[in-house]
Amino acid sequence: MKKLKIIFSTLVFTAGLALSSIAQANDIKIGVSFRMLSDVGYKHGELITDTVAMWNKEGGINGRKIDLILYNDECKSEKGVANATKLAYQDKVHVIIGSSCSSVTLPMVPVITKAKVPQIIPHSTSSKITMQGSEYIFRVPVSSRFYKLVQGKFTAEQQGKKIAYIYVPDQASMVFAKEMIQFMKDEYGVEPTYAVQAGEKETDFRSYLMKAKATNPDVIVLSGLVDETVRMLVQSYEVGIPKSVHRVANSVASKVEVPTNAGKAAVGVVYSAAFAASDTRPIAKKFVKKIKSTYGVTPGHDFSQMQDLLDMLKPALTKASAKFSGDLAADRLAVRDAIAGITNFTGLASGPISFCANGSPECRDGNKTPVMIKYSRGGKNWKTAVAGTVTFNPSDGL
């Protein structure tokens, strides 16, 4: 009985070993870990797979084939940490792309730092991630510290300082509301007229909205995930909060579902993001068209960030792999240094992206230019307009 068990478990272990050791020495290996549960999550995965397949079709990078290893972390830190460890030690990748959720990226940082593997973040915005001071982490999206600044400044200076907040217990939504409350306190000395955290999976926000309405605010901040943002917007009109009260949402509002489902209620909503589908630059127009035709959705900022990430990773890998020695540790350092050497990358993002050598947040929060966007029309044929952009100094908001 016991003997059988031991034999069985060793069998399984060795099977695992054998599977992991199949790989070519010459390849460049890219590991990916992010949330691939939802529809959009899968599409981000497809975008990476397609792009890398294209690179390989074009002859690879410096003649080297690119190996892509794709893992799902389901937005769970346990899985994210396991993925990072597996990618670093077992799959022996040169660079890791991930993750979507801040709560997953956060514990991945110490893992990849210890393993000395560079990691480049497509989506996580929490400012805590880069504040750990790791020399191996790079962030493409705009850090929450800049979002807070731009949103706070814009709101206070253009819309009003009497603000009511309703937010849901999701990390990004909470951080957005709380950091903004803190910023208004520190910068302008104003307290919120009303602030409340809704319950998890709540769908009826009318009681909160009524209370918010009673405080007579100039601005109402509605911070939630896509579905909740839509509901809050629609319900805010149902309880009779007039159009003159400005509605502010977090970067979730850049997702297509918000204007499509909220319809008229989306008009006038202001949010900050790193990319707007209404961007009129030719590069942006081309990108929107490509994503629409290939994946059937209008890209929000998370698609654009993924594209930017891949576009800047390719030259960095080209530069680094020219010097590849075959020694994994040295090659990873080369990749890290090549990414750190990226300056003024102009892609789809609203501003140039630059990194630098040391591990401080000033160096590693690459994008410092959030853009303020306003919906000018809701429904299926929604339209946005850019309300303004600001480029911050690297140390702002720390």
Partner 1 sequence: MEKFKKIISQYPFLGFIIAYLILLCVPTIFFTDLYQSHLSSLIFVNIIVAAGLNIVKGYCGQVTVGHVGLYAVGSYTAGCMFMYLGSDLWMTLPAAIIVTGLFGIAFGIPSFRLEGPYLALATLGGGEAIRLFIENGEFFGSTYGISSISQPVIFGVPFDTPDKYYYISMPVMLIAVYFSYSILKSSIGRAFMSVREDPISAAASGIDIKKYKILAFILSAMFAGAAGAVYAHLPPGYIHPNNYTVIEMVTFLAMVVFGGLGHIWGGIIGAIIITIVYDLTRPLYEYQLFIFGLTIVLTILFMPKGIGGFIDKIFIDKRFKKKKVEEGK
Residue 199 has phi, psi (to 5 degrees) of -75, 165
| Three-point CA angle 184, 189, 195, nearest 5° | 50
Least distance in angstroms from the C-beta of 76 to partner 1: 5
At what angle are helices 282-295 and 301-321 packed, to 10 degrees?
A: 100
Question: Rounded CA gap, 221 and 330, in Å?
Answer: 48
- Site for partner 1, rule CB under 8 A: 1-2, 4-6, 9-10, 12-17, 19, 21, 36, 42, 69-72, 74-78, 81-83, 85-86, 88-90, 101, 103, 106-107, 109-111, 114-115, 128, 169-171, 174, 197, 200
Record the tokens describing residue 330, joined without a space: 């040295």
Closest to partner 1 by CB, 17 or 322: 17
Closest to partner 1 by CB, 15 or 330: 15
Query: What's the chain's length in residues?
Result: 398
Closest to partner 1 by CB, 36 or 262: 36
Question: Rounded CA gap, 28 and 324, in Å?
Answer: 10
Three-state DSSP at 25 gives coil
Closest to partner 1 by CB, 127 or 278: 127
Contacts of 265 (CB under 8 A, 6+ apart): 230, 233, 234, 236, 237, 378
Least distance in angstroms from the C-beta of 226 to partner 1: 17
Least distance in angstroms from the C-beta of 361 to partner 1: 16
Closest to partner 1 by CB, 90 or 391: 90
Sheet containing 28-34: order of strands: 66-72, 28-34, 95-98, 119-121, 137-142, 365-367
Question: Rounded CA gap, 100 and 53, in Å?
Answer: 22
Closest to partner 1 by CB, 68 or 222: 68
Least distance in angstroms from the C-beta of 83 to partner 1: 7
Residue 193 has phi, psi (to 5 degrees) of -70, -25
Least distance in angstroms from the C-beta of 269 to partner 1: 24
Closest to partner 1 by CB, 58 or 200: 200
Question: Rounded CA gap, 125 and 146, in Å?
Answer: 10
Least distance in angstroms from the C-beta of 252 to partner 1: 15
Closest to partner 1 by CB, 111 or 241: 111
Least distance in angstroms from the C-beta of 234 to partner 1: 25
Least distance in angstroms from the C-beta of 78 to partner 1: 5
DSSP string, 166-214: EE-SSHHHHHHHHHHHHHHHHHH----SEEEEPPTT----HHHHHHHHH
